[in-house]
Amino acid sequence: FEGHIVSLLYSVWKGFCLKPAVSCIGHDWEDIPDFLGAKYGEVARRLDLSFNQLRSLTGLKAFSQLEELIVDNNLLGNDLQLPRLPRLHTLTLNKNQFTDIEALLEHLAEVTPALEYLSLLGNEACPNQLVSMDKDEDDYQRYRYFVLHKLTKLKFLDTRRVTQWEWSEAEARGAFMKVVKPKNDQDTASDVRSESTTTPYTPLPRGSKDVRNHKGVFTKCRYVYYGKHSEGNRFIRNDQL
């Protein structure tokens, strides 16, 4: 098994590109094995770990010289923690389980300062029709502005090169372009129930409800009756006087 990776590394290095590359596609790994970093961490410039079952990338600590990382079709989520990769300029995380775009971008800005090419297609955090048919081009464009606002060196995002117009928009209003998913009806109903059980609604100040320290309340009414047939105190009961 290791010999297969070594031959692939050597052939890519000598034949198809100038940089050493390691490809470990479709092995159902849940973690990066220790032998991979021990044997190839110092020489690998490109690493492809697509189509595994990875939930963590802690094994990347040994790949200090890494420039390109491909981790498509895995199980990575919002708890992703990358080691600092100062040389990394290309990162693809397509079809994983990211939902919190802001947390991911802030982490990438911290640990991948040279990042220029990023792809997040197929994640809920990337609002396009690959993950939800109710998303449209406007949602996706706002997402692009927000990403560019966070990662200021990007040249290519998902399937498109970043344009000068996008940079201008991201600089002007990218901070306000975060796409927020509204709560569903069930969450809203539970919030209403919790509020109603703890603090029932009342238009009066809290002090007016305290039986030990009752206070009168004076205020202005928002509505003024100008009619000629005022009902006066018709609806006030004797026990309320």
What CATH number is given to the structural domain containing 145?
Answer: 3.80.10.10
- Domain assignment present for 202: no
- Domain assignment present for 140: yes
Q: Which residues are within 8 A (CB) of 102 and not within 5 positions of it... i.e. 6 or more apart? A: 146, 150, 178
pLDDT, mean over the chain:
80
Residue 138: which pLDDT band, with cuts at 50, 70 and 90? confident
- Domain assignment present for 83: yes
Neighbours of 172 (CB within 10 A): 11
Counting the structural domains of the chain, the total is 1
160-161 and 156-157: which strand pairing? antiparallel
Q: What is the pLDDT of residue 219?
A: 61
- Domain assignment present for 205: no
- Domain assignment present for 128: yes
Residue 117: which pLDDT band, with cuts at 50, 70 and 90? very high
Cα–Cα distance between 229 and 176 in angstroms, integer?
53
Q: Give per-residue pLDDT as tens, 34-73.
A: 999 999 999 999 999 999 999 999 999 999 999 999 999 9
Q: What is the pLDDT of residue 218?
A: 59
Cα–Cα distance between 29 and 59 in angstroms, integer?
12
- Domain assignment present for 29: yes
Residue 172's domain spans which residues?
7-176
Q: Give per-residue pLDDT as tens, 64-106.
A: 999 999 999 999 999 999 999 999 999 999 999 999 999 999 9
- Domain assignment present for 200: no
- Domain assignment present for 65: yes
Average the pLDDT over each of 134-138, 174-178, 181-185 and give the range with the smallest value: 181-185
Question: Read out DSSP for the chain?
Answer: -HHHHHHHHHHIIIII-SS-EEE--S---SS--HHHHHHHTTT-SEEE--SS--S--GGGGG-TT--EEE--SS---TT--PPP-TT--EEE--SS----HHHHHHHHHHH-TT--EEE-TTSTTS-STTT-TT--HHHHHHHHHHHHHH-TT-SEETTEEPPHHHHHHHHHHGGG---PPPPPHHHHHHHHHHHHHHS---SS-GGGG-TTS--------S-----S---TTTT--GGG-
